[in-house]
A = this chain, B = another copy of it.
Amino acid sequence: MRVESGLARRVTAEGLGTAFLLAVVVGSGIMGERLATGNTAIALLANAIATGAGLIALILAFSGVSGAHFNPLVTLSMAWQKQMPWREVPVYIAAQLAGAFAGVAAAHLMFGEPVFFASEHVRSGMAQCWSEFVASFGLLAVIIGSSRTKPDAVPFAVAAYITAAYWFTASTSFANPAVTLARAASNTFAGIRPADTPGFIIAQLLGAAAATLLFGWLYPVVQYQEKPTTGCGT
């Protein structure tokens, strides 16, 4: 019973945290585009700073409950590293997906946009997919590397990485399948055309797998323990 109750709390935290993450990404994109009067660099700077700052706050707020994955790549990699049981993976991912779409809707309501509307923002081609591979490889590298040696710094490491990755990858670094799917439902600054999502997600999975393999060799493996507070944000 205690375990089920624990899972209910963790799933709530994953869903709510992912919802806030998407609200930050989409909401700050809308605000940036509206205010920047055509200067996309300023809009992206605001978007990157808001997302990085939001990640610090959200990981610190939720990691004590669920590990603050907010990302199927992280959940899959944690299970592969035996840091959480595989049977919880589908529940985590379902919560992340539901939360992501709820967060997009929440942002749209704040800015007077339709609840959902398909993006027309084209993001295709090999350079974009290579960007997502690099972005996701780097994200998992940062999460695994920092959580093995400096667990207290993980929220700052992840936030700093994403702030940088908005700028150094040509795709502005989605690096998260739940984020990718939900952003397809937002025809705003942060959107992505639904037809372009499969390529992004495949590249993300490959990048995360490569990082998990390489960092499994670089750092000694830690065994899974029963307490739920392991994961990226702990």
Using CB atoms and an 8 Å cutoff, list the residues of chain A in contact with chain B. 9, 12-13, 16, 20, 23-28, 31-32, 35-37, 39-54, 56-58, 60-65, 106-107, 109-112, 127, 130-131, 134, 138, 141-142, 144-146, 148-150, 152-161, 163-164, 166-171, 214, 217-219
Contacts and interface: CB of A to CB of B under 8 A. Distances in A.
A111 B48 CA distance: 19
Contacts of A63: 149-150
A1 to B, nearest CB: 15
Contacts of A161: 53-54, 56-57
A20 to B, nearest CB: 6
A153 B155 contact: yes
A58 B61 CA distance: 20
A60 B168 contact: no
Contact of A44 (B25, B46, B56, B164): B46
B48 A49 contact: yes
A45 to B, nearest CB: 6
Q: Copies per complex?
A: 4
Contacts of A130: 109-110
Given A44-B35, A50-B168, A61-B141, A159 B160 contact: yes
A164 B54 contact: yes
B52 A53 contact: yes
Nearest to A31: B167
B146 A60 contact: yes
A168 B54 contact: yes
A111 B170 contact: yes
A11 B213 CA distance: 17
Nearest to A57: B161
B27 A35 contact: no
A206 to B, nearest CB: 15
Nearest to A229: B149
B64 A142 contact: no
A32 B167 contact: yes
A162 to B, nearest CB: 8
14 contacts: A24-B168, A31-B170, A35-B39, A45-B49, A49-B167, A53-B159, A57-B164, A61-B142, A65-B219, A110-B134, A110-B170, A111-B127, A112-B127, A150-B152
Contact of A46 (B35, B45, B50): B45
